[in-house]
A and B are shown apart, each in its own frame.
Chain A
Amino acid sequence: MSTEVTCRQSEPRAALKLLPIPVSRRACGIPLVLLAAGLCALPSVVSGYAMTLAVEVMIAGVFASGINLLTGYTGLVSLGQAMFLGLGGYGIAIGTALLGWPLWVSAPVTLVVVAASATVIGAICTRTRGVEFLLITLAFSQMFYGAAIKLRWTNGSDGMTGIPRPDLSLLGVSADSPATFYYYVLAVSVLALLLLWRIVNSPFGSILVGIRENERRMMSMGYAVANYKIGSFALAAIVCAVAGILQSQYTYFVGPDSMSWQMSGEGVLMVIIGGANVIFGPFAGAAIFVVVKQALSLITDEYNLFFGIFFMLVVAFFRGGVLGAINTLIGKLR
């Protein structure tokens, strides 16, 4: 039952359907301006509930964008990205609550720690590919989840509370106010997106795409592919950790569930729904996901059951994600 050289290991295409990059500039122009205007004006025109939904969508979007870099662009499908989401939240919780550091110290230190650990974990995980990679990332995140539940100094399964929001008193506002927090999250999300956009259009980004398309050929071209995979893994982890920081600031709380396999699964689903590879895909996926989740929780208590069915349907039928389907439609209409 052994395998050999070519056959199952040379999967040149990733599971997730892709759109060619770059996204056309002209197509983005006007809708982008409208979107930006809408986002800035949001707090003044909508209710508190809609605003909290928007915050949730953005945080989920940042998380999904991190996953997208690893999964959509590099083709490494991981079921363990929630470990970095959780590490981000726990990082600032430990930094502020246990070590007494101010936020502007805890946050960067957290990100550095995440980057370092992601490099090590990535170096181990990227030695595998395909389904083995899937399993080993799942195993790693389960390990962190188990640690979070057991460790007493992080309150085990009760989680940690009292996570501080940024001190914006210099600007004369308080991040405890929903509108201010909304703008804070918006600013961070936009920064994250800009960063990702630069990365994806850079030579480094093009190498990641090449690895996804045909890893063996990239090695043949002369690229030390392993290093790039680790780099992608670490960058994705950092972005997920940023989302984790935002998440814990949003709820003033972090718990082991933020590292669960369910959380990883939700992130992957958002990427698949939104269409991997397109820079706005993860946010679109996050929006659809958050709305569906809210709707489901109103109808039924059996979230897992319906979510699972929804997940299966999306994987089976939405090969390009929603944005992919729209793009195909636009292509057909032209």
Chain B
Amino acid sequence: MQHFLIQALNGVQLSMLVFLLAVGLTLIFGLMNILNLAHGAFFTMGAYFGLVVANKTGSFWLALLIGPLLPFVAGFVLQFFILQPLAQRGRSTHLDLALLTFGLLFATAGAVEYIYGSAFHSIATPDMLRGRIALLGIEYPLYRLFIIAVGIAIALALVLVIDRTLIGATLRAGVDNREMVTALGININVLFALVFGFGSALAGFAGVVSAPVMSIYSNMGIGIVVTTFVVVVVGGLGNLKGSFYASLIVGMTDTFAQAFLPEAELFAVYALLIVVMIFRPQGLFGAVGRVA
């Protein structure tokens, strides 16, 4: 029972990390119809930049705050100066842009390898969050609970912003009818670039947050990003709530599979993907039954 509870909490913790990545990806896709295959690069970027900050200042919290800024800027620049102009010139369909980000994936994998080599790094857990806490008959690391809390908090904040605020309404309107929103005097390009930056920053944030429990290394983005892709497809591309629930499902599946069937590794996750695709190709929460 204790073992089960620990695994369940680990599962939720992993789910929250994956959610932070998935939400950026799916937000960007839902609003701009761009699939950023290099999304994992922002995860890596945030972690490394956070590492630099942590090493310079010795503060985890500063790393958490400042780390995501680099991916934010990178994402903004990518969308505003590269993806947007290409899309507007009509040269590239959404598929083209996805392929472009695939090239970016190669490039960033190479760049990170070049700059940092293949050594493993880490950021120390902040003092305030060290140690374990007694919970429901077990002792669970406080930091992991922190990750869970952060994930849920961000999920709630996002739902509030997207559904209830003017910015959220503007974004939703911008996806539906870009020209109309521009005609209303809103600079949709800047808005989209900001959202892209924000989604990337979330990934970077996840990178810093994950650092105390996972290692920082040049390929760290790749492993978690494939899980993220599965989450995003299972949840329904573009569906925010879907990605939350899917993160939970996938995170739990992965954790329990690893705990009880260590040989299976990612197979459980892929098996889940296959089953979902057979019965609901649009994702568990995606728009219902398009014929074509």
Q: Do A and B come from one complex?
A: yes
**B171 nearest CB across to chain A (Å):** 9
Nearest A-chain residue to B33, judged by Cβ = A8
Which residues 64-107 of B sit at the A interface, judged by CB distance below 8 A?
86, 91-96, 98-100, 102-107
Contacts of A146 in B (CB 8 A): 265-267
Report yes or no: B290 in contact with A127, Cβ–Cβ below 8 A: no
Report yes or no: A308 in contact with B108, Cβ–Cβ below 8 A: yes
Report yes or no: B35 in contact with A135, Cβ–Cβ below 8 A: yes
**A127 nearest CB across to chain B (Å):** 4
Determine if B270 is an interface residue (Cβ-Cβ < 8 Å).
Answer: yes
**B84 nearest CB across to chain A (Å):** 12
In the bound complex, what is the Cα–Cα distance between A190 and B160 (angstroms)? 61
Report yes or no: B229 in contact with A2, Cβ–Cβ below 8 A: no
Contacts of B91 in A (CB 8 A): 316-317, 319
Question: Interface of chain A, helix or strand or loop or mixed?
Answer: helix
Report yes or no: A15 in contact with B107, Cβ–Cβ below 8 A: no
Report yes or no: B292 in contact with A216, Cβ–Cβ below 8 A: yes
Nearest A-chain residue to B292, judged by Cβ = A216
Chain A, interface size category, equals 35 or more
Question: Contacts A134-B35, A136-B277, A142-B226: A9 and B292 contacting too (C-beta < 8 A)?
Answer: yes
Report yes or no: A3 in contact with B287, Cβ–Cβ below 8 A: yes
Contacts of B188 in A (CB 8 A): none
Question: Contacts A15-B96, A150-B263: A3 and B238 contacting too (C-beta < 8 A)?
Answer: yes
Report yes or no: A304 in contact with B95, Cβ–Cβ below 8 A: no
Report yes or no: B95 in contact with A134, Cβ–Cβ below 8 A: yes
Determine if A197 is an interface residue (Cβ-Cβ < 8 Å).
Answer: no
Report yes or no: A14 in contact with B277, Cβ–Cβ below 8 A: no
**B116 nearest CB across to chain A (Å):** 13
Which residues 123-181 of A sit at the B interface, judged by CB distance below 8 A?
124-125, 127-128, 130-132, 134-136, 138-140, 142-143, 146-147, 150
Contacts of A134 in B (CB 8 A): 35, 37, 95, 98
Determine if B148 is an interface residue (Cβ-Cβ < 8 Å).
Answer: no
- Residue in contact with B270 in the complex, picked from A3, A128, A143, CB distance below 8 Å: A143
Determine if A312 is an interface residue (Cβ-Cβ < 8 Å).
Answer: yes
Contacts of A131 in B (CB 8 A): 29, 35, 94-95, 98, 237
In the bound complex, what is the Cα–Cα distance between A291 and B102 (angstroms)? 21
**B221 nearest CB across to chain A (Å):** 12
Report yes or no: A77 in contact with B99, Cβ–Cβ below 8 A: yes
Contacts of B229 in A (CB 8 A): 135, 138-139
In the bound complex, what is the Cα–Cα distance between A142 and B95 (angstroms)? 20
Question: Contacts A305-B111, A305-B114, A308-B105: A14 and B95 contacting too (C-beta < 8 A)?
Answer: yes
- Residue in contact with B292 in the complex, picked from A219, A265, A310, A315, CB distance below 8 Å: A219
Contacts of B290 in A (CB 8 A): 5, 9
Nearest B-chain residue to A130, judged by Cβ = B95
Of the listed residues A147, A225, A265, A308, the one surrounded by the most CB atoms of chain B closer than 10 A to its CB is A308
Contacts of B175 in A (CB 8 A): 1
Which residues 71-98 of A sit at the B interface, judged by CB distance below 8 A?
77, 79
Nearest A-chain residue to B27, judged by Cβ = A1
Contacts of A10 in B (CB 8 A): 292
Report yes or no: A138 in contact with B278, Cβ–Cβ below 8 A: no
In the bound complex, what is the Cα–Cα distance between A147 and B240 (angstroms)? 31
Nearest B-chain residue to A129, judged by Cβ = B292
Contacts of B86 in A (CB 8 A): 316
Report yes or no: B103 in contact with A311, Cβ–Cβ below 8 A: yes
Report yes or no: B106 in contact with A265, Cβ–Cβ below 8 A: yes
In the bound complex, what is the Cα–Cα distance between A4 and B253 (angstroms)? 30
Report yes or no: A138 in contact with B33, Cβ–Cβ below 8 A: no
Report yes or no: B266 in contact with A143, Cβ–Cβ below 8 A: yes
Report yes or no: A307 in contact with B94, Cβ–Cβ below 8 A: no
> CB-defined interface of B6-34 with A at 8 Å, one 1/0 digit per residue?
00000000000000000000000111010
- Residue in contact with A140 in the complex, picked from B31, B108, B270, B292, CB distance below 8 Å: B270
Which residues 258-289 of A sit at the B interface, judged by CB distance below 8 A?
262, 265, 268-269, 272
In the bound complex, what is the Cα–Cα distance between A147 and B229 (angstroms)? 19
Determine if A303 is an interface residue (Cβ-Cβ < 8 Å).
Answer: yes
Contacts of B226 in A (CB 8 A): 138-139, 142
Which residues 1-58 of A sit at the B interface, judged by CB distance below 8 A?
1-5, 8-11, 13-15
**A263 nearest CB across to chain B (Å):** 12
In the bound complex, what is the Cα–Cα distance between A244 and B282 (angstroms)? 32
- Residue in contact with A2 in the complex, picked from B94, B105, B108, B239, CB distance below 8 Å: B239
Report yes or no: A316 in contact with B100, Cβ–Cβ below 8 A: yes
Contacts of B139 in A (CB 8 A): none
Which residues 246-276 of B sit at the A interface, judged by CB distance below 8 A?
263, 265-267, 270, 273-274
Seen from chain A, the residues whose Cβ lies within 8 Å of a Cβ on chain B are 1-5, 8-11, 13-15, 77, 79, 124-125, 127-128, 130-132, 134-136, 138-140, 142-143, 146-147, 150, 215-216, 219, 225, 262, 265, 268-269, 272, 302-312, 314-317, 319
Query: What are some 6 contacts across the A-B interface (CB < 8 A)?
Result: A1-B172, A13-B93, A136-B233, A143-B267, A305-B114, A306-B110
Q: Which 8 A/B pairs are nearest by Cβ-Cβ distance? A: A308-B107, A304-B110, A305-B110, A308-B106, A311-B103, A15-B95, A127-B281, A312-B103
Given A125-B277, A312-B104, 16 new contacts (CB under 8 A): A1-B162, A8-B94, A11-B93, A14-B93, A77-B99, A124-B278, A128-B233, A139-B230, A139-B273, A142-B270, A265-B106, A304-B113, A306-B110, A315-B96, A316-B96, A317-B91
